[in-house]
């Protein structure tokens, strides 16, 4: 991407930054004191019925409180869960006359042409709640038919009688001229202030009516729930003495104000996972790694993102729910692939075969071994039975695990398959590793990248337990376990910046591209971004801008996003732009056509307000052998179906330069790292565990 920066006057930061990441099983907290440099963490079970209780419990475990914090950062899965679980608001769609079924028709994706049981995507808004209004704007922005305001008023009265909670407005070509959408929203907002009303141009100024429709529908659908949720947290923390700035992590990993999050809710769909990728990027910059895979395994899902040439890869759209039944969301977000496999994933026998996930035991009741009423066998139960988790050491000993309950749960799948409990547990972990490898391949192999050329950075409560197995599955030779992996996404929020992404469709051939007009559009978008940052309650120390173009060969339907240096615009260098596009097309699809003509589809810019980051400090040096204080005993652990004695180590006592060979377990408060036979681990200068993986498939 093109890049420029403008220094700002140095401003003082808040003394304490508090970051909270709510997951399906645990709520993670990271607290950083700017003045003392002290970094502390807290981890508590999530509380689905009243999520803020889990945050408060985690803050207390981190030894902090809301009153002392000047900045509260938050990431949550509430928006994405509302879509996946279909628990959003009663929503209506208002669109241009004649286009009521755009949302239903979609793109007619049919990945399995011969599947007689194929089911297409199911819209979030049923057809009976989709309505038409007379208006029409041309693709060039010219008004063809004025907005029928009287008809809109009558429709509003009908929606009110139907008990509609949220309204999505998407007029055809509203991306080119948003006047009608703005007017429609103004009329309805004035008459029905209690309704959540969202217009497509506020979220996407790109063409493609189905994608814009799906995006605004998703935003309206989750809007009331997100607004209540964010508002509840805001009232709670301020009631407990918080007087600082409340920021939400976007799906790009950037930050925006909580007030903005309550209107542009879909921008926080992947907020928690995105923060983990930002943390991975910060780690890569510190230790000098260009290419890495961010692998996050929590209690419910496993997710993967990519750091390529030092930058976290993003995308301009995502498919929520998988390719075949997906609902597209056309906003900037981190390029993340997710599978339904986590520590709480439930194992079952189906059609005579062992299957794992995507159903999860969650936080309540949780895995059987938690002793909270769960009876279904999970991945965590399998790890406990195989000795990879210590029953008396989970969460630093705060939570005692029940081995007997885990064995009884696993027997429910072992007996039907004629296996021992140990064999069933081993099978569960093998299946989980294979499934999780799909997430890694989804952001590498499917993007034209060789996963074997990347380092796997594994975190999340369950990530270090499975990292080496996943790496072996897909030929990754190096794994890094960062400090405090169990709360790493919360830690990553401390490295997030204010960020605003803008895109504008401007179809033109590259040969005839009017650079003066392109420059004018970019400047308008960048000024909008600077204004948005200036309007926040946080003052960054510098603002940067980056530019990209969506491009395609003439005759193609879909485009690729090409990050470009600022110099190509200053020099109006068409050849350089074409060269960058050919290279990106080659990377993504394995082919390019340098002799073919290309065209520009959309202009993209990212405006970032850089915030000061916590320093990443080195740890004390030691020799090759770990100090005696680090050794915490031995226990029987199963590797490849055989139990053997494996030494266990306290990670907090390890020193830089220490080396450990597998099999071994390295334990810390919220996670356990598994070294398999043949693996070799070295502690680097910053305390990261750097593992050379034995037996990786190639």
How confident is the model over 567-580, as a mean pLDDT? 94
Whether 503 and 587 map to the same domain: the answer is yes
Whether 536 and 577 map to the same domain: the answer is yes
Tell me the per-residue pLDDT of 410-424, one tens digit each, with 9 for 90 and over.
999 999 999 999 999
3-state SS assignment for residue 297: strand
> Is residue 205 included in any domain, yes or no?
yes
Q: Which pLDDT score is estimated for 11? A: 34
Strands (E), 565-614: 598-610
3-state SS assignment for residue 173: coil
How confident is the model over 584-592, as a mean pLDDT? 90
How confident is the model over 288-316, as a mean pLDDT? 91
Whether 601 and 632 map to the same domain: the answer is no
Q: Which pLDDT score is estimated for 3? A: 46
How confident is the model over 89-104, as a mean pLDDT? 96
Q: Return the residue matching tokens 């008459």.
A: 191
Tokens coding 521:
């559009």
Whether 522 and 586 map to the same domain: the answer is yes
Parallel/antiparallel/unpaired status of strands 689-692 and 478-481: antiparallel
Whether 579 and 659 map to the same domain: the answer is no
> Is residue 322 included in any domain, yes or no?
no
Whether 658 and 598 map to the same domain: the answer is no
Tell me the per-residue pLDDT of 10-46, one tens digit each, with 9 for 90 and over.
334 447 899 999 876 788 999 998 888 888 999 888 8
Q: Which pLDDT score is estimated for 205? A: 93
Whether 605 and 524 map to the same domain: the answer is yes
> Is residue 331 included in any domain, yes or no?
no
Q: Which pLDDT score is estimated for 223? A: 96
How confident is the model over 85-94, as a mean pLDDT? 94
Parallel/antiparallel/unpaired status of strands 91-96 and 166-170: parallel
How confident is the model over 419-443, as a mean pLDDT? 92
> Is residue 130 included in any domain, yes or no?
yes
> Is residue 284 included in any domain, yes or no?
no
Judging by beta carbons within 10 Å of its beta carbon (0-12, 13-18, 19+), is residue 127 exposed, middle or buried? exposed
Whether 594 and 633 map to the same domain: the answer is no
Residue 9 — pLDDT band, cuts 50, 70, 90?
A: very low
Whether 118 and 207 map to the same domain: the answer is yes
Domain that holds residue 523: 498-610
Residue 698, Cβ neighbours under 10 Å: how many?
7
How confident is the model over 398-421, as a mean pLDDT? 92
Q: Which pLDDT score is estimated for 6? A: 40
Q: Are 254 and 281 in contact (CB under 8 A)?
A: no
Residue 393 — pLDDT band, cuts 50, 70, 90?
A: confident
> Is residue 75 included in any domain, yes or no?
no
How confident is the model over 132-137, as a mean pLDDT? 97
> Is residue 506 included in any domain, yes or no?
yes
In the listed set 610, 645, 661, which residue is the last one of a domain according to the structure? 610
How confident is the model over 414-438, as a mean pLDDT? 93
**Residue 649 pLDDT > 50:** yes
Residue 330: closest CA among 205, 180, 174: 205
Number of domains, the chain? 3
> Is residue 617 included in any domain, yes or no?
no
Residue 7 — pLDDT band, cuts 50, 70, 90?
A: very low
Q: Which pLDDT score is estimated for 169? A: 98
Element housing 355 (H / E): strand 353-360
Whether 537 and 569 map to the same domain: the answer is yes
Whether 635 and 595 map to the same domain: the answer is no
In the listed set 576, 610, 644, which residue is the last one of a domain according to the structure? 610
Q: What one-character DSSP code corresponds to residue 289?
A: -
Q: Which pLDDT score is estimated for 239? A: 93
Whether 531 and 505 map to the same domain: the answer is yes
**Residue 116 pLDDT > 60:** yes
CATH number, domain containing residue 547: 3.30.1490
In the listed set 578, 610, 642, which residue is the last one of a domain according to the structure? 610
Tell me the per-residue pLDDT of 471-504, one tens digit each, with 9 for 90 and over.
999 999 999 999 989 899 999 999 999 999 999 9
Across the chain, mean pLDDT equals: 90
């Amino acid at each position: 991407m093109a890049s420029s920066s403008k220094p700002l006057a140095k401003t003082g930061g808040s003394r304490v930054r508090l970051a909270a990441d709510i997951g399906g099983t645990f709520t993670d907290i990271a607290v950083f004191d700017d003045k003392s440099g002290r970094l502390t963490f807290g981890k508590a079970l999530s509380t689905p019925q009243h999520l803020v209780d889990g945050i408060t419990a985690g803050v207390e475990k981190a030894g902090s409180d809301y009153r002392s914090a000047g900045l509260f950062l938050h990431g949550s899965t509430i928006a994405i869960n509302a879509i996946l679980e279909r628990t959003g608001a009663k929503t209506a769609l208002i669109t241009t006359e004649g286009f009521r079924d755009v949302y239903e028709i979609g793109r007619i994706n049919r990945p399995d042409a011969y599947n007689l049981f194929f089911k297409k995507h199911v819209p979030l808004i049923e057809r009976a709640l989709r309505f038409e209004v007379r208006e029409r704007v041309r693709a060039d922005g010219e008004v063809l038919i004025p907005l029928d305001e009287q008809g809109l008023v009558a429709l509003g009265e009908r929606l009110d009688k139907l008990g509609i909670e949220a309204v999505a407005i998407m007029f055809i070509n509203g991306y080119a001229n948003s006047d009608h959408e703005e007017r429609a929203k103004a009329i309805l907002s004035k008459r029905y202030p209690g309704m959540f009303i969202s217009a497509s141009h506020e979220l996407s100024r790109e063409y493609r009516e189905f994608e814009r429709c799906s995006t605004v529908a998703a935003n309206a659908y989750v809007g009331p729930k997100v607004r209540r949720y964010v508002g509840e947290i805001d009232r709670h923390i301020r009631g407990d003495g918080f007087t600082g700035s409340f920021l939400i992590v976007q799906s790009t990993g950037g930050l925006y104000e909580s007030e903005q999050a309550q209107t542009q809710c879909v921008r926080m769909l992947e907020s928690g996972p995105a923060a983990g990728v930002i943390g991975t990027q910060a780690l890569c910059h510190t230790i000098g790694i260009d290419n890495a895979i961010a692998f996050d395994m929590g209690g419910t899902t496993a997710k993967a993102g990519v750091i390529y040439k030092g930058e976290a890869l993003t995308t301009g759209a995502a498919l929520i729910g998988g390719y075949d039944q997906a609902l597209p969301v056309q906003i900037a977000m981190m390029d993340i692939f997710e599978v339904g496999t986590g520590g709480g994933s439930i194992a079952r026998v189906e059609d005579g075969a062992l299957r794992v996930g995507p159903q999860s035991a969650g936080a309540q009741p949780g895995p059987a071994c938690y002793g909270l009423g769960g009876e279904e066998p999970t991945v965590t139960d399998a790890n406990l039975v195989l000795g990879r988790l210590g029953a008396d050491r989970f969460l630093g000993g705060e939570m005692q695990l029940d081995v007997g309950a885990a064995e009884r749960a696993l027997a429910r799948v072992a007996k039907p398959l004629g296996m021992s409990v140990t064999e069933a547990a081993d099978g569960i972990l093998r299946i989980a590793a294979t499934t999780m490898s799909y997430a890694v391949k989804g952001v590498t192999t499917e993007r034209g990248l060789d996963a074997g050329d990347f380092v796997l950075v594994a975190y999340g409560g369950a990530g270090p337990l499975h990292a080496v197995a996943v790496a072996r599955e897909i030929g990754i030779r190096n794994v890094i376990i960062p400090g405090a992996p169990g709360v790493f996404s919360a830690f990553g929020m401390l490295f997030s910046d204010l960020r605003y992404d803008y895109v504008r469709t401007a179809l033109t051939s590259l040969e005839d591209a009017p650079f003066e007009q392109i420059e004018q559009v970019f400047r308008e978008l960048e000024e909008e971004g600077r204004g948005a940052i200036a309007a926040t309650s946080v003052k960054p120390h510098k603002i940067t801008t980056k530019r990209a173009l969506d491009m395609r060969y003439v005759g193609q339907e879909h485009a690729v996003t090409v990050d470009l240096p600022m110099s190509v615009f200053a020099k109006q260098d068409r050849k350089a732009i074409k060269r960058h596009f050919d290279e990106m097309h080659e990377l993504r699809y394995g082919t390019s056509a340098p002799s073919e003509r290309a065209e520009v589809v959309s202009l993209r810019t990212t405006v970032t307000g850089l915030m000061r980051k916590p320093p990443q400090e080195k740890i004390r040096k030691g020799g090759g052998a770990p100090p005696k204080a680090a050794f915490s005993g031995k226990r029987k652990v199963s590797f490849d179906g055989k139990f053997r004695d494996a030494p266990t180590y306290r990670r907090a006592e390890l020193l830089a330069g220490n080396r450990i060979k597998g099999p071994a377990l390295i334990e810390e408060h919220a996670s356990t790292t598994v070294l398999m036979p043949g693996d070799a681990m070295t502690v680097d200068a910053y305390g990261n565990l750097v593992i050379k993986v034995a037996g990786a498939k190639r």
